[in-house]
Structure 1
Amino acid sequence: MLARATAFPVVDASDGAPIVRGKVCVAVPDRHLLFDKNRLRITRGPKENRTRPAIDALFRSAAFNFGPRVIGIILTGTLDDGTAGLWAVKDRGGIAIVQSPSEAVFSSMPESALRHVAADAVLPILDMPAAIARFSAETLPETEIQASPIMEIETRIAMNEDALNEGELQLGPLSRYTCPECNGTLIQLAEQSLVRYRCHVGHAYSPQTLFGLITEQIDMAFSQVLRAIEDRTRLLRDFKHQASAADAVERYAKLIAEDEGLAQQVRALSNNQ
């Protein structure tokens, strides 16, 4: 689709490939697309916001390696993916461009970026090429802002390096939450107004993604409880049908009625949560 819209060659990114002017490299499924000096890296590092490839990992590695030479752009999308990565771009002196939320099909990602990052331009898509050309022609600053230790550690984590063992204490304090993917304790990372979470394995979450995952866990728990109650009710009906003694039939009938009431309560709680 992209190749049909540009005269530039468009290829799948490959591990170790040099960065070539005029070539468009696209992330491949289930692998992070990262920068490592002047080459591309394709890794299977921990997921961020339950995705791989992840936009935050890409932007962060670009900011870490190229500082003010990076232009990061956030387009339409749901939740808050890309905000942490765009913050890293700005933190290293790069340029942040955000699609106008009013134009975006899904405005959540642009709105989140604008809440936490001082964008250099907020534009409709058709105005972005001229802005990119203008920013690209600007003279780079003489002194470069150094990357933070957190940015370096997180970039190494995305590379699938064992950076947490030696650097986890530098990331931030332990939070009260657990990782939805591995049940490990989450570390809280705070960068000005931006708060994120990362576990000891390396899984990373924005607040909105973590909230969504916890909500999914609650829904799943209700479904599992309801299924177990209904299975038990079916067994009780079989027991009642097979029972010969009147007192046993009565006992099973009472238990069935209790289960049916309990199932009704669970459904009500599930619908209201």
Structure 2
Amino acid sequence: MQNRDIVVVAVSTGGLAALEVLLGDLDPGLRASVFVAMHVDGYRSVLPSLLQNRTRWQVQHAEDGQPFAPGVVYIAPPDRHMILQHDATVLTRGPKENFTRPAADPLFRSAAVHYGPRVVGIVLTGRLDDGSAGLKSVHACGGFAIVQDPEDSVAQDMPANAIAAVPTAQVLPLQQIGNAMAKAINTAVAPRAAGSGPSETLRTESRMTETGQSSAAVLERIGRQVGLTCPECGGAIWRVDTGVPVRYRCHTGHAFSSASLNAAQAEQVDDAIWSAARLLRERILLASEEIATGGATADATGRLRASVAQWEAAYQQLRSLAATTDGPLAKTDIA
């Protein structure tokens, strides 16, 4: 028997305040290490120093190849995925997952694969569904799942989607999660039984993150190709057969859920509509200038006037379409 000693946390919008509450009264004597993936992308992060003033735990950015120790909170640094293997934190600039780096799913997957029942997975406030597939992996490998109550969250998407992925997860208000986490850490669990390791799909995806390597042949083993292209690189996409949440991977390694893929497509459609509207407006202005200067023949001027009327109608249609389509989600921030 052994205690759970690996805690992985996914958080995004509203994350600073949520982490302050989670870590604020946590006993630093707990024999566990905490690993946090928060969506900060490539921006400079001062999250460790902000949190250090709110907790008795040591808080620091993770370092590549650094052995981890109990009583320490490791924060994934900007523009790096943080994964766990051989009792050390490993940082990689591998392909983005759910259009972000760092992402929670790679962290959760690596913890599940390497530490199984020793893992406590926690999903807090945030948009879209990063962490849902990762929490499902933790649960599948015998770990303990905790989710912030969506009604108690600044952004409900991540908690709600995590609950859909792991219906048996313990759902609690933020103020109660610290105590639940401590209780889970102090509960002894049996080691992973022989032959009950992670699935081939989970092992394969974990290796993809660890090595940064992917291929069509590998993806054929864990999914099926669909008629979509990757918004990140334009490559072919495979649907990974893991149930809810529905997920996709391209052959270069980018991974995303249907929710994050839909959000990216909505942003691209929005950009395309406004780009087309701008080009139409410029054609209208150019034709109007030519008509006003009298540089064209009477027949040509008549044709230009007819074209301007058509372009103006199309321009108004595009503006109307832009107002009725799902526009891009607002960028998330670290607070």
Where on the TM-score scale, by shorter chain, does this alignment land: which range?
A: over 0.9
Please show how residues 1-273 of structure 1 align to structure 2 within 5 Å. 1-144=50-193, 145-164=196-215, 167-240=218-291, 241-243=293-295, 245-273=297-325
Q: Provide the rounded CA distance (Å) in 2 between the counterparts of 1:19 and 1:165.
A: 35
Unaligned runs of 5+ in 2: 1-49, 326-335
Contact persistence 1:46–1:157 (CA under 8 A): no
Q: Can you list the C-alpha shifts for 1:172-192, whole angstroms capped at 9, x where unaligned?
A: 111222211112221111224
Mapped partners of 1:193, 1:95: distance in 2: 18
2:40 corresponds to which residue?
none
Of 109-118 and 129-138, more deviation after overlay is shown by 129-138
Letter in 2 for 1:223: W
The 1-side partners of 2:216 and 2:88 are apart by: 26
Q: Residue 137 of structure 1: CA displacement?
A: 2.2
Alpha-carbon distance change, 244 to 127 in structure 1, aligned in 2, over 3 angstroms? closer
How far has the Cα of 1:2 moved from its partner? 0.9
Equivalent residue of 2:151, what SS? coil
C-alpha separation between the residues in 2 aligned to 1:46 and 1:161? 7
2:176 is paired with a residue of what secondary structure? helix
| Deviation sequence 1:150-195 (CA, Å, 0-9, x none) | 1122112222431435522222111222211112221111224332
Deviation at 1:224, TM superposition (A): 1.6
Aligned-residue offset at 1:142: 4.3
One-letter amino acid of the counterpart of residue 6, structure 1: T
Mapped partners of 2:261, 2:314: distance in 1? 30
Give the fraction of aligned pairs with identical amino acids, expressed as a percent: 38
1:197-245 deviation per Cα after TM superposition (whole angstroms, max 9, x unaligned)? 1111111111111111111111111112111111211221222224153
SS in 1 for 2:82: strand
Normalised TM-score (structure 2): 0.77
- Contact between 1:12 and 1:27, CA under 8 Å: does it hold in 2? yes
Do the aligned partners of residues 118 and 256 (structure 1) sit closer, same or farther apart at CA in structure 2, a change above 3 Å counting?
Answer: closer
C-alpha distance 262-163 of structure 1, shift in aligned 2 (>3 A)? closer
Provide the aligned C-alpha RMSD in A: 1.7
Equivalent-residue separation in structure 2 for 1:122 and 1:266 (angstroms): 44
Worse-matched range after superposition: 221-230 or 43-52: 221-230
Contact kept in structure 1, 2:249 and 2:255, CA below 8 Å: yes
How far apart in 1 are the matches of 2:183 and 2:151? 24
| 1:76 and 1:110 in contact (8 A); partners too | yes
User: Measured at CA, do residues 185 and 163 of structure 1 come closer, stay the same or move farther in structure 2, by a change above 3 Å?
Assistant: closer
CA contact (8 A) 1:10 1:25 kept: yes
Alignment coverage as a number of residue pairs: 273
Q: Indicate the larger mover: 73-82 or 132-141.
A: 132-141
**Unmatched tracts of structure 1, length 5 or more:** none
| Counterparts of 2:219 and 2:198, CA distance in 1 | 17
Structure-1-length-normalised TM-score: 0.94
Deviations 1:70-124, CA, capped at 9 Å, x for gaps = 0000111111111000000001100000111221121111111111203342112
8 Å Cα contact 2:163/2:169 also seen in 1 = no
8 A Cα contact 2:117 2:192, kept in partner: no
Aligned-partner SS, 1:102: helix
Structure 2 CA distance for partners of 1:118 and 1:243, relative to 1, 3 Å? same
Moved more, 14-23 or 111-120: 111-120
The secondary structure found in structure 2 opposite 1:191 is coil
